[in-house]
Amino acid sequence: MGIVEEKVAELKKYRPKLTKQEDFEDFWQLAIEELFPGETGSASWKINVESQKILEEYKVRFDLELEEYPYPLKHIKVYKATIEASDGTILHGWYLSPVEAGSDNKVPALVRFHGYSSNKGKICELLLWALQGYAILAMDVRGQCGDTPDPREYTSGSFSGWMTLGLDSPMEYYYRQVYLDSIQTIEALVRRPEVDSTKIGLFGNSQGAALAIISSALITRFKDRVGGITARIAGINAGVPFLTDMQRAYKEHTDGPWAEFDWYFRMHDPLHEKEDEIFTYLSYFDAMNFAPWVNSPVLLAVGLKDTVCPPPTSFALYNHLAGKKEIMVYPDYGHESIDSHVDKQISFFASLLL
């Protein structure tokens, strides 16, 4: 057995115990019901963190607002896309679809989620998929480096970045709303008249991989309990996933966003007296804890030299996935977009959606 084979064989055995809390499922059902209150009433958009009571109400919509954007290709329509999130924030993105797509000629569709501290990306990046015949939607993650703000109020300070925003409570934590935004984005795409709602794929790298996995998990878990969810996910490609097996990721990182916690502890808790409490809060957002709810086929990519999301954390996610799955291991890649993986990704989605 070679060096790489030996290492991979050991990683495939790594299946840490899930860290989800007893109320993990109830916590997320309450969140999903904010988006889908049977679509007969209003959904909460401002909640008192302590009492968990609704302060204001808001009717969540799933309509993409599209503004055609001039682009010199005859076969693809390009649009600036916006949607009003469940807290009133306007999310910005791109939407591309084949010219021939319509209500009488529905096409498969993809949602691309971007990495940490990035944005919706460039049109040319999305053409790879639109030219294959997919409709594709890519939206900013709120507050990061795109056109979408994060106007939410947090009851305490944080270190530069987004990882420590709202750490006083899982109800207030930054990623709670980001995960809801992601589900709303998927549902908005599915309801487009030119989209085949039975052929939806999700993909992304790093943070984007986590958002794809977690969105699919929440949709799958609650689609039969919460009225109004029409999305069904046919496949997921997750590259070098972030936000998974969080405790080990924090212990082993040598680069990337986990360093925000190093500084957070230095400034707010230098003796780590609240460390257990903080990682209890973070357990509600750990992609590993959502993995057993995913039953769509998953193609996962990992670089063995990743110092941002250490390889064991990707295997922790992979080994807890419940459905059909495949992991591609790239021994000499780190935390990056793996060019060699793109052809595999194209084949994966083509086999499921085209």
- Which active-site residues does the annotation give? 206, 306, 335
pLDDT band of 38, cuts 50, 70, 90: low
Nearest Cα to 45, choosing from 160, 134, 177? 177
pLDDT at 158: 87
Assign 204 to helix, strand or coil.
Answer: strand
Helix, strand, coil % over all residues of the chain, rounded to 5: 35, 20, 45
Q: With 60 as the cut, is the pLDDT of residue 54 above it?
A: no
| Residue with tokens 């990519």, as numbered in its chain | 301
319-338 mean pLDDT = 96
pLDDT at 44: 46
pLDDT at 157: 84
In order of their start, the domains of the chain are 11-353 (3.40.50.1820)
Nearest Cα to 195, choosing from 232, 235, 236? 232
Q: Calculate the alpha carbon distances from 104 to 50, 111, 193, 194 in Å.
A: 49, 22, 9, 7
Q: pLDDT by residue (tens digit) across 93-125?
A: 999 999 999 999 999 999 999 999 999 999 999
Chain centroid offset of residue 16 CA: 22
Average model confidence (pLDDT) across the chain: 93
> 77 with 99: CB under 8 angstroms?
yes
Q: pLDDT by residue (tens digit) across 176-233?
A: 999 999 999 999 999 999 999 999 999 999 999 999 999 999 999 999 999 899 999 9
157 compared with 343, residue with greater pLDDT: 343
Nearest Cα to 302, choosing from 323, 282, 316? 316
The single-letter code of the amino acid at 234 is A
Q: Write the DSSP string, 126-193.
A: HHHHHTTT-EEEEEPPTTSSSS-------SS---SSSTTTTTT-TTT-HHHHHHHHHHHHHHHHHTST
